[in-house]
Amino acid sequence: MARSALCIGINDYPSAVGKLAGCVNDAHDWSAMLSGRGFTVKTLLDAQATRAALVDGLSTLIGGAKKGDTVVITYSGHGTWVPDESGDETDARDEGWCPHDLTTAGALLDDEIHAIFGTRAAGVRIVLISDSCHSGSVTRGDDSDVDAGAPKARFAPPAAWMKPSQVTLLKPVKPPVLSGGMSRTGGDLLLSGCTDVEFSWDTSFRGRPNGAFTYYALKVLAERKPATYEAWFKEVRAYLPSTSLPQNPQIYGSRGARKFKVLD
């Protein structure tokens, strides 16, 4: 049973979209952790992470996996949305990732990720870890590691990269569902930095830039060694949300999948 991963990190966005600082570090950190656990890892960083490269990287990784294999995908970068044109979204918008060439190639939308995930062979387990964002707030948690004044939202508003005529009013947002193409009954899991209506924050910890969710997820994994995904997620929620990092991490997957050993 093979274990493979793709770690994506994009800091170098056009100024109009908003440059980030911690995403490449996130990708390196996830890569180092996964490599240490026996995964074969490929990274796509900054200019490497074009829209075409993301599609090819996901397609190759998932298409090459066989029954019993585990595939891990981590994404750190801006998140965004576009008005839904197909009518399949209850919140009237399609969410997506922002590739390096966002302003010319557009976002990689959830519908397209759905199609790629749908090509996997039976028995392939997918773990998707997405440290990108939307909007919202709440206060609690421990943020004593955070450098003062550092947090920046990992969100590219449509107006920053789309034509004004494409930006429309939205219907009220409903709670998110498991990312398209992922199995609700199998071993698939989605761990995300926030809900569909919140920001994930790009910040720094003791002088080093990172995504808040990535930093705490890896801190918990290294220090407390949680046995299951459920335990891992619970420990992360002890840190997030906090006063300066108002984001609610999410975990989606079956009850059985949440009790699987972490990255086993």
Exactly one of 78, 98, 134, 194 is catalytic; which is it? 78
- What burial class does residue 114 get, using C-beta atoms within 10 Å of its C-beta: 0-12 exposed, 13-18 middle, 19+ buried? middle
Helix or strand run (H / E) with residue 28: helix 23-36
Distance between CA atoms of residues 95 and 192, nearest Å:
13
Q: Closest Cα to residue 82, out of 152, 188, 161?
A: 161
Q: How far apart are the first and last CA of the chain?
A: 11
Encoded tokens for 54 = 């993301």
CB 203 within 8 A of CB 210: yes
Neighbours of 224 (CB within 10 A): 12
- Based on the residue annotation, tell me whether 7 is a catalytic residue of this protein: no
Exactly one of 7, 23, 98, 133 is catalytic; which is it? 133
Between the alpha carbon of residue 237 and those of residues 15, 62, 176, the distances in Å are 32, 29, 18
Between the alpha carbon of residue 170 and those of residues 86, 135, 136, 174, 210, the distances in Å are 14, 14, 16, 11, 31
CB 180 within 8 A of CB 114: yes
- Based on the residue annotation, tell me whether 133 is a catalytic residue of this protein: yes
Residues catalogued as catalytic: 78, 133
